[in-house]
Amino acid sequence: MISLPTPMEKAENLSKELGINLFVKRDDVMELALGGNKVRKLEFLIGDALAKKCDTVITRGAFHSNHARLTAAAARKAGLDVYLVLTPPGTFDLQGNILLNELLGAKMILAKDREEAIKRMEEIAEKLRREGRNPYIIPGGGASPVGVMGYALAAKEILEQLQEQGVKPDYIVLATGSGGTQAGLVLGLKLLGADDVKVVGISISPDKKEGQKRVSSLVNQAAKLLDVNIHVEPEEIIVIDDYLGGGYGAINKEVVETIKYVARREALILDPVYTAKAMQGLIDLARKNYFGKNSNVVFIHTGGTPILFQADELKDYLSS
């Protein structure tokens, strides 16, 4: 589902303006259905589903969920049936990820919130089992110890790509939600003996404490699965919750300004729910000299581009 490595691009114009060496790991560039971070998790999750001889995948997410769209795509590619339980926020119009889910032939079921969605997933699985089918439930965001493996491997890929250019990263910055991506990077760097590289999760939904808890718990569960002696405490995980901008999925002027700022300097297209908020954090932190002058900073472009074509609120802030 992915040809690796994904590109690593030096953002020359932003580097000059921000006084850091900024590299962008282009995990938005992948073959599978417009790509994104969830594909690396799904490589392992769909592999696990196939190993368990499952015939149907069930997952949940917000209306604009990239995880839901990519689960549908990965399931189809593997010849599996797929159910998506979708909840607000976002809009349920045939645009963006919803349109792609429809094209992929995913069965979309609506629920009012996370709790109801979890219940609905179980009910669907139970019904399928009664019909003699073998369903596989993927938790929201693909946040499971199996899914974490994708980004543990990506940590190695990132270090190797930069090493070829004679660069050692000081920081890796990314959008953190369910926590699996950051957990994979933290675990991978520890396994490689490179945990002097700091992984900075800019939260797009949980507060700092909850984010640290989610990430550390996934690191520890995945370490257990690998049978390696690694343990992290929540306080060791860097999660910054200053850029939530009104909460998960809320679009505001700063987010749209960030999208325009980056597009006009690097022709790099960010999405309003995840990558723009993470980049807004990176830019602000760089201006406050959080990273230190001329430090090597990697921003992971985790994807999400279809949301640009799904978020009508975006247009309200497009005056210039």
Ligand X SMILES: Cc1ncc(COP(=O)(O)O)c(C=O)c1O
At its nearest, how many Å lie between ligand X and the CB of residue 304? 3
- Which structure tokens are listed for 261? 């700022």
CB of 301 to ligand X, least distance (A): 8
Site string for ligand X, 111-150 (x = CB under 6 A): ------------------------------x---------
Q: CA 271 to CA 212: how far, in whole Å?
A: 24
Query: Count of alpha carbons within 13 Å of 18, Cβ hemisphere only?
Result: 29
- Does position 6 interact with ligand X (CB under 6 A)? The reply is no
Asked if 306 touches ligand X (CB under 6 A), the answer is no
**Does 295 qualify as catalytic in the annotation?**
no
How far does CA 101 lie from the centroid of its chain? 18
Please give the residues from 23 up to 52 whose contact with ligand X meets the rule CB under 6 A: 36-37
Measured from the CB atom, the residue of 128 and 152 that comes closer to ligand X is: 152
Q: Which of 87, 161, 216, 302 binds ligand X (CB under 6 A)?
A: 302
Binding span for ligand X by CB under 6 A among 11-19, 76-84, 235-243, 302-310: 302-310
Closest to 36 (Cα-Cα) out of 304, 243, 274: 304
**Residue from 33, 36, 35, 9 nearest 21 by CA:** 9
Nearest distance, CB of residue 215 and ligand X, angstroms: 8
Helix (H), strand (E), coil (C) string for the chain: CCCCCCCEEECHHHHHHHCCEEEEEECCCCCHHHCEHHHHHHHHHHHHHHHCCCCEEEEEEECCCHHHHHHHHHHHHCCCEEEEEEECCCCCCCCHHHHHHHHCCCEEEECCCHHHHHHHHHHHHHHHHHCCCCEEECCHHHCCHHHHHHHHHHHHHHHHHHHHCCCCCCEEEEEECCCHHHHHHHHHHHHCCCCCCEEEEEECCCCHHHHHHHHHHHHHHHHHHHCCCCCCCHHHCEEECCCCCCCCCCCCHHHHHHHHHHHHHHCCCCCCCCHHHHHHHHHHHHHCCCCCCCCEEEEEECECHHHHHCCHHHHHHCCC
Q: Which is nearer to ligand X, 141 or 169 (CB)?
A: 141
Q: How far is the CB of 180 from ligand X (least distance, A)?
A: 4
Check residue 181 for interaction with ligand X (CB under 6 A): yes
Minimum Å distance from CB 178 to ligand X? Answer: 3
Task: Pick from 35, 90, 180, 249 the residue near ligand X by CB under 6 A.
Answer: 180
Say which of 65, 203, 205, 216 is annotated catalytic. Answer: 65
Instruction: Work out which of 6, 21, 59, 66 binds ligand X, going by CB under 6 A.
Output: 66
Smallest gap from residue 97 Cβ to ligand X (A)? 9
Residue type at 57 in one-letter notation:
V
Cβ closest to ligand X, residue 169 vs residue 179: 179
Our CB check for ligand X shows the closer of 34 and 162 to be 34
Per-residue x/- track, 238-267, ligand X (CB under 6 A): ------------------------------
To ligand X, the closest distance from the beta carbon of 36 in angstroms equals 5
Contact call for residue 96 and ligand X (CB under 6 A): no
Is 303 an interacting residue with respect to ligand X (CB under 6 A)?
yes
Q: Give yes or no for residue 206 binding ligand X (CB under 6 A).
A: no
By annotation, the residues acting in catalysis are 65
Give the interface with ligand X as residue ranges (CB under 6 A): 36-37, 66-67, 141, 175-182, 274-275, 302-304
